[in-house]
A and B are shown apart, each in its own frame.
Chain A
């Protein structure tokens, strides 16, 4: 199941990574190797092997519903490339694929 360059371009688009044609050509076969490896694992996975998403044998690690101090707004906003009116200023959104 070889990945086509188009599929790589599409994945890159979803991940917002800009790739040159050379990079796409280089990455497609590498991604193929990864997909093949996953496919091999799928072969041994049978119905009596429950899918594992977590290495820890834990469930219900809940936190009590208690408010804890937040960080000062100034500290949060200090990380913003630009801030205005105590808010993070971001470039115009509409050209981006919206939520």
Chain B
């Protein structure tokens, strides 16, 4: 069933010359509700195995589910953020399948009545705009987690048996399904990545999911097929699962596009199947043949009454939507007068909210950008942590910049203050005081240091007196050294020139 042979791959550019890729993305968002979708068990994902289970999520006979109202609200808010229509009335449905990750032998999901439908999300990739049409966003429950024992790498292939933990079974999920996305050409994998990134940012802005891909809060099943150039007939698609990082969304799709290209070019047929992305080796392997929807024998869930959402309720929920990431980015870029390149750098560094907070705390946008994208990014890199966890808050960065602005600190001293703040020595003011880092602005002390430098370098002083002001550099260096860097070089230069004019 599984193929262990290495796939033939066609050169990516060659595939693009001959085919147009068509994407379909199914994204599962795990909601961050306190309790599960249909029972009161906690959704905490760090608990010991099978400690958050009950008769409902274990599917014990006689148990009855009850819908988590907060999850329904989250579903509607997600739909509104994705420009969807909200169904005035819908039902949950039973999807029947036998697999040990669902003890009930069915998943409670939605079938032909999704709560949200017909939306879209606008994206920008390399300066070009793309619209991804959303077919539906529906509610369902997550499955348990399996641990495959006895195979290589914990894979299901070759496993002797599996061990099941049902803590995750019943955690609320929203499945967001796109319509087929065409016309992306070679950009298809990059657009898919941007789509995932934007979904993640939206979920975080809405506060409905932790949206950590590495934790499986946001999971992507990536469908792709190839359409020969000039044809408008969709090819056979494959679905790649296990795509759990932004990088692998792009990697898995590029791989699958190249693999299908090679299959089609050699006169073969693409098999409609589910493939698994192997993050370690960067390849996909064949899984099962895809089931037809009718095999799931969906029917309306008899244990749950329908869900009704009036137009006024929809508007109430719409009013709770925060400013969404794309709008916020556009607004801030305009307010800060950042050009596209500058803004892209901020976004790539994941620094948008940090900059926003720093500017709100009083720093100029340029200054905020400088600290976060150079000095603090470098330190976060060295520490191997997120920028937000570097050990300095936006308020502290704004305070640091205020000290630079009022002449108390030079940039060089400011970097030493950052050392202190990150080392946990307190706010910038405290670090300046405890480390004695403030710029010496006392002209008496500076004047004395300048006098010393002049006395020690009569030749240089003579040149400056003779009008060669550029020679002042040598004296400035000496004064700065004598002041341990705690002087404003511009002021020192001024004093030197005053004394030697």
- Contact residue range for chain A? 35 or more
Q: How far is the CB of B151 from chain A (nearest CB, A)?
A: 9
Bound complex: CA of A16 vs CA of B146, how far in Å? 21
Stretch at the interface among B257-265, B300-308, B376-384: B300-308
Bound complex: CA of A90 vs CA of B143, how far in Å? 15
Q: Is the CB of B69 within 8 A of A73?
A: no
Residues of B within 8 A of A90 (CB): 100, 146, 161-164
Q: Is the CB of A86 within 8 A of B48?
A: yes
Residues of A within 8 A of B55 (CB): 71
Q: Is the CB of B72 within 8 A of A93?
A: no
Residues 278-304 (chain B) with a chain A CB within 8 angstroms = 287-288, 291, 295, 297, 300, 302, 304
Stretch at the interface among A22-30, A40-48, A54-62: A54-62
Residue B80, interface by CB 8 Å: no
Q: How far is the CB of B390 from chain A (nearest CB, A)?
A: 34
Query: What does the 1/0 interface line of A30-73 toward B look like (CB < 8 Å)?
Result: 00000000000000000000000110101111111111111101
Bound complex: CA of A98 vs CA of B356, how far in Å? 47
Residues 72-97 (chain B) with a chain A CB within 8 angstroms = 72, 89, 91, 96-97
Q: Is the CB of B41 within 8 A of A67?
A: yes
Q: Is the CB of B42 within 8 A of A70?
A: yes
Residue B68, interface by CB 8 Å: yes
Bound complex: CA of A84 vs CA of B297, how far in Å? 33
With A63-B68, A68-B41 known to touch, is A94 a contact of B1 (CB < 8 Å)?
yes
Residues of B within 8 A of A53 (CB): 91, 300, 302, 306
Q: Could you say which of B40, B91, B100, B143 contacts A93, with CB atoms under 8 Å apart? A: B100
Q: How far is the CB of B112 from chain A (nearest CB, A)?
A: 11
Residues 45-64 (chain B) with a chain A CB within 8 angstroms = 48-55, 58, 60
Residues of A within 8 A of B147 (CB): 85, 87
Q: Could you say which of B41, B50, B102 contacts A77, with CB atoms under 8 Å apart? A: B50
With A14-B297, A62-B72, A94-B156 known to touch, is A67 a contact of B42 (CB < 8 Å)?
yes
Residues of A within 8 A of B67 (CB): 61-63
Q: Could you say which of B157, B165, B306 contacts A94, with CB atoms under 8 Å apart? A: B157
Residue A20, interface by CB 8 Å: no
With A87-B50, A94-B157, A97-B288 known to touch, is A61 a contact of B304 (CB < 8 Å)?
yes
Residues of A within 8 A of B295 (CB): 14
Q: Is the CB of A86 within 8 A of B49?
A: yes
Q: Is the CB of A88 within 8 A of B91?
A: no
With A54-B306, A76-B50, A77-B50 known to touch, is A88 a contact of B164 (CB < 8 Å)?
yes
Q: Is the CB of B302 within 8 A of A54?
A: yes
Bound complex: CA of A92 vs CA of B147, how far in Å? 11
With A92-B161, A99-B97 known to touch, is A70 a contact of B51 (CB < 8 Å)?
yes
Q: Is the CB of B54 within 8 A of A98?
A: no
Q: Is the CB of B35 within 8 A of A65?
A: yes
Residues of B within 8 A of A56 (CB): 305
Q: Could you say which of A16, A54, A69 contacts B98, with CB atoms under 8 Å apart? A: A16
Residues of B within 8 A of A60 (CB): 69, 305, 307-308
Bound complex: CA of A88 vs CA of B48, how far in Å? 13
Residue B166, interface by CB 8 Å: yes
Residue B160, interface by CB 8 Å: yes
B36's closest neighbor in chain A, by CB?
A67
Q: How far is the CB of B386 from chain A (nearest CB, A)?
A: 29
Residues of A within 8 A of B156 (CB): 93-94, 98
Residue B493, interface by CB 8 Å: no
Bound complex: CA of A58 vs CA of B41, how far in Å? 25
Query: What does the 1/0 interface line of B16-44 toward A look like (CB < 8 Å)?
Result: 00000000000000000111000111100
Q: Is the CB of A97 within 8 A of B50?
A: no
B163's closest neighbor in chain A, by CB?
A87
Q: Could you say which of B1, B49, B146, B288 contacts A73, with CB atoms under 8 Å apart? A: B49
Residues of A within 8 A of B35 (CB): 63, 65-68
Bound complex: CA of A14 vs CA of B91, how far in Å? 24
With A59-B307, A63-B67 known to touch, is A98 a contact of B287 (CB < 8 Å)?
yes
**23 A-B pairs whose Cβ atoms sit less than 8 Å apart in the complex:** A14-B295, A54-B300, A54-B302, A59-B89, A59-B308, A60-B69, A60-B308, A63-B67, A63-B68, A68-B40, A71-B55, A73-B48, A73-B49, A76-B166, A84-B163, A88-B50, A89-B161, A92-B160, A96-B99, A97-B97, A97-B99, A98-B287, A99-B102
Q: Which residues of A contact B (CB under 8 A)?
A: 14, 16, 53-54, 56, 58-71, 73, 76-77, 79, 84-94, 96-99
Q: Which residues of B contact A (CB under 8 A)?
A: 1, 33-35, 39-42, 48-55, 58, 60, 66-72, 89, 91, 96-102, 143, 146-148, 150, 156-157, 159-166, 274, 287-288, 291, 295, 297, 300, 302, 304-308
